[in-house]
A and B are shown apart, each in its own frame.
Chain A
Amino acid sequence: MHISEGVLSPSILIAGGAITCAGTAIGLKKLNYDKVMGVSLLTSTFFVASLIHVPLGPGSVHLVLGGLMGILLGWSCFPAILVALFLQTIFFQYGGLVVLGANTTIMALPAVICFYLFRTWFKENGRKRQVAAFSCGFLSIFLSSLLMALALSFTDKGFLQASQLIIAAHLPLMFIEGIITMFTVSFLAKVQPEFLQIKE
């Protein structure tokens, strides 16, 4: 879920950069010195998630897990995603430098939205948490592909159909992310509930 460098128009790049700056500033402000180590290791774990390929029909897709990141990190997912994407730029040359702001916004903004929408649901045991976890995974990918499509079509009207294709192509990933987020959350609730800030 990256937009390559050199695609977006300057105004979209600036808008993405501004949102990322603001989000990262809020995220860093909420981080105290005790939490920063946890956030760092979760950043590398989510980086590893992007290397996990799950089978889908004849091909495979790699995980994003933005929704889970939002639930676990809240606003801190902005700096975490920014760093993860920067690492990807240096390691694999995916994305880029100037487009980093836009790409971070595309992934982190839906994660924060999911955090605010569903965080109370996670505190309750049972079906409600499962539904929340599935919706988190599903919605974060949906919103991300929507933001990506918007960024492309605001850049150039000619991208309109290409961006509709992008949303359609992400549909299977939405379901897979929803299902995997659901299982991961139910696992975490059993094994390490303090992770989800759930009271026993």
Chain B
Amino acid sequence: MMDERFAQGNSLLHTRDPKAKIIAATAFVTASAITNSFTVAAVSFALSIVLFFLTKLPVQLVLKRLLAVNSFTFFLWLTLPLTYGGSEFTAVGPLSLSMEGIRLAALITLKTNAIVISIIALLGTSRIANIGHALESLHLPQNLCFILLFSYRYVFVIYQEYRRLVRAAQLRCFVPATSIHTYRTFGYLFGMTLVKSWNRATRVHQAMVLRGFDGHLIPLSQDRYTSDDTIFLSVMLSLTLLLILLNFL
């Protein structure tokens, strides 16, 4: 579930420096998110697909993700055409579908998918550990990057600890249902997970202090910013600028 499948590979995008990718992704996503024009949304969708093919990742993987992400847009498709008002597009029985509602739902769907695909292509292709260190070198607060790196490090451990508690409950014939007993069990299970993670935090902190930890994390893999990254970043930024200018056409 959380295995960073997109980060495996050695394509053009996988090998770029995470700093360049973070800046490129932020600019591109901002430009696509705030637009109101169909042309811009369509162009950014096309660009994101080009980016995705540059990663050489299997298509089925991303389709599965898109399915999950589109649950919110699906909700918009259910509500907006019926409730938006404005001029009528067509009437199905007693329901009238509004033209503007359909337009807005379509625009949002296009934008959301473009952004999700571009985030997979740009950020998903780096490991979170590398992104954390890149954010730190981009001068984000050190403590924030620390929380990012460490919570990422321990998410898997804590998830497994929680799974172990659930397994223990299942061995004792716990079957979840809509009942107060289920909610009490989940409440206690989560409470135990909290207690375990809190105690683990104390131990990890003590162990790190013993080894001379001074609030500074040293990355294991040194990402080097090369001239290729500069070229990549300038191409991405000029494409983003083009997207912004398209708004005014």
Contacts and interface: CB of A to CB of B under 8 A. Distances in A.
A18 interface: no
Nearest to A80: B147
A97 B187 contact: no
Nearest to A45: B197
A198 to B, nearest CB: 14
B164 interface: no
Interface stretch (B89-97, B198-206, B225-233, B237-245): B198-206
B32 interface: yes
Nearest to B215: A33
A56 B183 CA distance: 10
B84 interface: yes
A39 interface: yes
Contacts of B182: 54-55
A52 B186 contact: yes
Contacts of A171: none
Given A5-B115, A7-B108, A93-B119, A158 B197 contact: no
B83 A162 contact: yes
Query: Looking at B85, B128, B155, B157, which has the most chain A CB atoms within 10 Å of its CB?
Result: B155
Query: Looking at A51, A87, A162, A195, which has the most chain B CB atoms within 10 Å of its CB?
Result: A162
Contacts of B128: 87, 90
A131 B73 CA distance: 37
B205 A34 contact: yes
A40 interface: yes
Contacts of B47: none
Decide if the interface of chain A is mainly helix, strand, loop or mixed: helix
Interface stretch (A118-126, A139-147, A185-193): A185-193
Contacts of A10: 34
Contacts of A6: 32-33, 41, 107-108, 110-112, 114-115
B195 to A, nearest CB: 5
Interface in A174-192: 176, 179-185, 187-188, 191-192
Contacts of A49: 190
A46 to B, nearest CB: 9
Nearest to B157: A44
28 contacts: A5-B29, A6-B32, A7-B108, A8-B33, A31-B143, A37-B204, A38-B202, A41-B200, A42-B198, A44-B155, A47-B151, A48-B193, A55-B178, A87-B148, A90-B124, A90-B131, A92-B65, A92-B68, A94-B69, A97-B30, A97-B123, A98-B34, A158-B100, A158-B104, A165-B79, A180-B190, A184-B188, A184-B191
Interface of A: 2-10, 13, 24, 28, 31, 33-34, 36-45, 47-49, 51-52, 54-57, 63, 65, 72, 79-80, 82-84, 86-87, 89-94, 96-99, 156, 158-162, 165, 176, 179-185, 187-188, 191-192, 195
Given A57-B178, A97-B123, A179-B187, 7 more contacts: A2-B72, A5-B112, A31-B143, A51-B1, A54-B182, A188-B191, A188-B194
